[in-house]
Structure 1
Amino acid sequence: MNLPRDIVVRSIAFAPRGFDAMRSALGKRYHYRIFCGDAPDPLRRHEQWWVSRRWCAAKRRLPAYGESYALDVRAMREAAALVEGTHDFSAFRDTNSSAKRDGGAVRRVTSLLVQEEGGPENLLIAIEGEAFLFRMVRIIAATLVEIGAGRAKAQLVADALRTKDRRLLPKAAPPEGLTLHQVFYASDFMDSESN
């Protein structure tokens, strides 16, 4: 089997009858990476969203250079805490989402972390939940960046969850920063070392 170079098989196991990789999943963890700097990193351009340092500084009315240019992680974490839990995420779904047809936008986000990776210009958003709507993670990432840049307050998340109005939130963040990090299965489908 010839896989693309960016896909790595770490283990293989036989699956029992009835196993379906998508429907048998108990949950997923996604990572979304953001780089806030002067120019995109050419070696990581396919795996992170570049947000201009000057854009970050201008939106927060800060000097364009120095430690203060990065996104406001504290504000992003405050907003992230509002996303955790079981909510109707209608405002956080793509307008073409199939959830409109099958009627379900209630999802449970079990964990949403915003952390620096090696400095304030590199951020990791790690989100874990039972299931996600189409583009939901990218819309959450874009919303957190808007809040981190000072263009919105954490209250935006609460308002969007309450009203279910997609128009309140920014367009989805670009796909380059998103990675499916882990899929969780019941132990009778996969042993703990192979998921």
Structure 2
Amino acid sequence: MRTFALLLLLPLLAFALPARAQNPIHRCVDAHGNPLFTDQPCTSQQAMPVQAPPPTPAASVAAPGVPVPLQGCATTATELRQRVIDAFAARDPNQLAGLMLWHGYGHVSAVDDIRALAGLVRQPLLEIHLGADTADDPAMPGSTGTPAAAPASADELQLRTGGVGDERSARFAVARQAGCLWLRYGG
């Protein structure tokens, strides 16, 4: 009887061994920012390893003060505008950089633009205009009703930041790609 039970377990053992011998899947990002999934180490593919985020329960709520990751891209102008406002409210240049379309940037220009974004979000957001809208923005405290340098074009986001004597303006081109609205920094 014991031999018969062992003979029944032998096929199960044969299926379990190959599954255990498989290589793990390595999550990587290549030099162009494209995701790469391979059974080889990332360094052998000239790529950087990426750790998978820990699973989070769907019903979890972020604690106050903890940044919440973006849950997709902005698909409407209103959503894009709100995300820019949220990035300024959080004083988070990475949140603003997450709205950017980085394709075609070199390392040096990307680092320079991220530094510029960091300086930009340190100041209070006074006005924001998306498209040809240059009217007062009732959602923005301290809005004077005067547009920054000039009215924004239909495919442009324009910001005015700063305080007394230290006002700045910045323009972002708005690009539509893959059903999303993205920003391209224009300074």
User: Higher relative contact order at CA 8 Å, sep ≥6: structure 1 or structure 2?
Assistant: 1
* Structure with greater strand percent: 1
TM-score, normalised on structure 2? 0.26
The structure with more radius of gyration: 2
TM-score, normalised on structure 1? 0.25
